[in-house]
A and B are shown apart, each in its own frame.
Chain A
Amino acid sequence: MRGRLLLAARLLTGAVFLYAAATKLPDLASFAVDVANYRLLPAAAVPPAAAALVGVELLAGLALLLGPWSRAAALVASGLLLLFIAGLAQALLRGIDLRCGCFGDAEPATWLTVLRDGAFLVPALAVARFGRGGWRRE
């Protein structure tokens, strides 16, 4: 049972990260503006950071879906989710009105977005801690 839950957690987290990267890749220029609006990075660092972030999402998503290094990928995904939660929270606490930039659309950043990222963190941490899971009965 635990193996199947971990498998579901791994596939869910992988799909979310892969989808997030796929929605940003067609318009990285706009995603760079979204990143800049968090007001955490110097302007010169924003474009490379935005491109790199999407690449990390993409690779973590692929690794989680395909299986190899899935615990490491889950650890990376957990780190990213913690980063997103911290970035969103600081922006909301500072009263910055911005798009979250989560899935390449115009979704505004709200405390619900923070909660959603918190919910995604649970399966990611579970895979990082307990492994990739599988179909076999234990």
Chain B
Amino acid sequence: MRLLLQALLLAAAGAAAGLALNPLSPRPARLSAPVRSAAEAAGSCQLPGAGPVAPRITVGEAAPMCLACSAGFVDARSAAEFAAGHVPGAVHLAPGESPTAALLRLEKFRTVVVYDGDPFAAQAEAVAGVLRARGLTDVRVLAGSWPAWTAAGAPGESGPCPGCGVASSRLPEAMP
């Protein structure tokens, strides 16, 4: 009986400690915001290839957000493509990679824009799905992705991901 009481006390103290430690976490759980499962949050069944899941954002809408630093950008292409040129300040996150480090940099933005190297943005869709599943609410896919961004003459920079410890070098002019 004493053992059971000790266990209950320990569990209660642990639960209280967890709630007390939550605000100290770099990515705390929002205690007042309900969290639904991915299936419930999606709202409806989505067949693979049946159409876009993430809402689109055009280059015309996204470029000012990039200049004002009011949105986080995620590059879902390969690391080599990212190093060759990307949206200024973008975080590199390819499908299949752990999003934990990227999430720490993206959570301060209300809107996150994901792009890849293909106008159909299949890779960007996959990464957007992961980011939504990890708690980001406003995740959009850049319509036309990187080809549309460069075609519009929107700004770019080159270099590896700053999250890897090497700073990017901003290009003096817009990407070709």
Given A30-B134, A32-B35; A73-B3 close (CB under 8 Å): no
Given A25-B21, A43-B35; A56-B15 close (CB under 8 Å): yes
Q: Are A55 and B17 in contact (CB under 8 A)?
A: yes
Main secondary structure of the interface of A (DSSP, over half): helix
Given A27-B103, A44-B34; A73-B135 close (CB under 8 Å): no
Q: Are B28 and A29 in contact (CB under 8 A)?
A: yes
A128 and chain B: residue at smallest CB distance:
B3
A21 and chain B: residue at smallest CB distance:
B18
Contacts of A36 in B (CB 8 A): 35-38
Interface residues of B in 1-38 (CB under 8 A from A): 3-4, 6-7, 9-11, 13-22, 25-38
B133 at interface by CB-CB < 8 Å: yes
Contacts of A37 in B (CB 8 A): 37-39
Cross-chain pair count, CB within 8 angstroms? 141
Contacts of A52 in B (CB 8 A): 14-16, 18-19
From A29, A56, A60, give the contact of B27 (CB < 8 A): A29
Q: Are A48 and B31 in contact (CB under 8 A)?
A: yes
Chain B nearest CB from A119 CB (Å) reads 22
Q: Are A51 and B22 in contact (CB under 8 A)?
A: yes
Q: Are B100 and A33 in contact (CB under 8 A)?
A: no
Chain B nearest CB from A90 CB (Å) reads 13
Q: Are A55 and B19 in contact (CB under 8 A)?
A: yes
Q: Are B4 and A33 in contact (CB under 8 A)?
A: no
Q: Are A46 and B35 in contact (CB under 8 A)?
A: yes
Chain B nearest CB from A129 CB (Å) reads 10
Contacts of A72 in B (CB 8 A): 3, 6-7, 9-10
Q: Which has the most chain B C-beta neighbours within 10 Å: A31, A51, A98?
A: A51
From B6, B15, B28, give the contact of A28 (CB < 8 A): B28
A75 at interface by CB-CB < 8 Å: yes
Interface residues as binary, A14-35 with B (CB distance below 8 Å gives 1, 0 otherwise): 0000000000011111111101
A50 at interface by CB-CB < 8 Å: yes
Q: Are A33 and B27 in contact (CB under 8 A)?
A: no
B98 at interface by CB-CB < 8 Å: yes
B100 and chain A: residue at smallest CB distance:
A27
A54 at interface by CB-CB < 8 Å: yes
Interface residues of B in 70-114 (CB under 8 A from A): 98, 100, 103, 107
Q: Beyond the given A32-B29, A58-B17, A79-B11, could you list 20 further A-B residue pairs with CB under 8 A, ordered by the A residue number?
A: A26-B27, A26-B100, A28-B28, A29-B27, A30-B135, A36-B35, A37-B39, A38-B37, A47-B29, A47-B31, A47-B34, A51-B19, A51-B29, A52-B19, A55-B14, A55-B21, A56-B10, A69-B6, A72-B7, A76-B7
Provide 9 A-B residue pairs closer than 8 Å at the C-beta atoms, listed in order of the A residue: A27-B25, A27-B103, A37-B39, A39-B39, A44-B34, A47-B32, A51-B29, A56-B18, A76-B7
A residues at B contact (CB < 8 Å): 25-33, 35-39, 42-44, 46-48, 50-60, 63, 69, 71-73, 75-76, 79, 96, 98, 104-106, 128
